[in-house]
Amino acid sequence: MKNIRKFLINVFSISTIVAIIIGAGFFCTIDRASAAFSLRHKHGLLQEVEGPRIVFVGGSNLRFGLISQMVRDSLNMNTVNTGLLAGFGLKFIIDDITRYLKKGDIVALASEYHQFYGNAIWGTRQLAQAINICPETIQFLNWRQVGVLVKALPGNNLGKLKATFKQAAFGTSPNIRPYERYDGMNHDGETIAHWTEPSELWVPDTLSGNFNGEAIRIIKELNNYVTGPLQGKLLITFPPYPECGYDVNRVAISRVENELKQQGVPLLGAAENYVFADSLFFNSSYHLGKDGAILRTNEFINNMRYYLKSISSLEP
C-alpha cells in the first residue's frame, strides 16, 4: 500500500512539473519573431482602416499572393488583408475577423481548397500559435478545435520555452526563415522577404478526405451576417494554384467550386482563372513569388471591376 501511495505521489509530482513547464511556454514571447505574430497587427488594421474597404479573408495564399497596394490604387478602395496561416483552420479564421467587420464591408473570401476536405477546417498545430498570441480567441473554439489545441499546445509551448531559454542563455535567435518572420512582411501584413530569393523545391499537395459540409455551413453563416446586419457583401474569390496540382486535383476543386456556386454568394471569376504556371510558385501550392503575386492580384482586380460594373448597371 505504501509503495502504491509513493508511486501515485511521484506520478502526480512529475505530471505537475511537466504541466508547469508546458504552461510556462504559453507566456513566452518567441512568437513575436514569426509571421504568426502579425495576427495582432491585422486586428489593428481591421479596427483602424475606414471604409469603403475590401477585407480579404483566407490563409497564407493571401499573405504570399496578394499585393494590397495594387488593389487600392486600381479600385480606389481601402483594403485589409487578414490572410495569415491556413493552419488556423477556416472556422477560426472566420470567427476571428467577424468581430471586427464594419457596416458596408466587402468581404472577399479566398479559402485554400483543402479547408473543404477532411478536418482541415478545425485547424492544425498552428491553431496553438493563434491562441498563444491572442488568448482571448479561445472563446471561439468548439470541441473539435479544443481537441486540436490539446494535442498541439504541449509541443508548441515546449518548443517556445526551449527557444526562449537558448536565446537567454546563449543569445541564439530563433531559426526562422526570412519569409516566415514578422519582419519579412510589409505594413499590409503581406510577406515580401522571398521576392528576391529563388524558388524552393516543393511538391504539389493532394486534396484527400471526404468533403466537409461544415465549411459551407460556416460560409453561409458569414454571408448571412455580412449581407444582413452589416449590409455589406460577401464575395468568393479563389486561391492561386499550380498547373501540376490542378491536373491532379481537378475533380476535388470542381466540387468546391460547384458547392460554392449553389450558395448564392457571388463568385469572382472561376477557379481555373487562378491556375498559374508552376514556375510562379515559391515553396508550396499556395505560395506565390513576386511575379505570381502581381499576376494573381491583377486577376482579382479585373474580376472585381467586372463585378462592380455589373452591380452598378442594376442600380436605378
Of 162, 137, 134, the closest CA to residue 24 belongs to 162
Residue boundaries of the structural domains of the chain: 2-312
With 0-12 CB in 10 A as exposed, 13-18 as middle and 19+ as buried, what is 66?
buried
How do the residues of the chain divide into helix, strand and coil, expressed in percent and rounded to 5?
Answer: 60, 10, 30
Nearest to 93 by CA among 102, 84, 101: 84
CA distance 189 to 82: 8
DSSP-derived secondary structure letter, 14:
H
Contacts of 286 (CB under 8 A, 6+ apart): 59, 60, 61, 64, 65, 86, 112, 239, 240, 241
Give me the CATH code for the 2-312 domain, please.
3.40.50.1110
**Other CB atoms closer than 10 Å to residue 120's CB: what's the count?**
22
- Name residues of the chain where pLDDT drops below 50: 7, 11-22, 24-25, 27, 29-30, 170-172
Task: Specify the pLDDT at position 152.
Answer: 82
User: Is the previous residue joined to 52 through a cis bond, with omega within 30 degrees of 0?
Assistant: yes
Give the pLDDT score at 53: 97
Beta carbons of 280 and 292 less than 8 angstroms apart: yes
The whole-number pLDDT of residue 78 equals 98
User: Quick one: pLDDT at residue 316?
Assistant: 54
Name the residue among 51, 83, 78 with its Cα closest to residue 66: 83
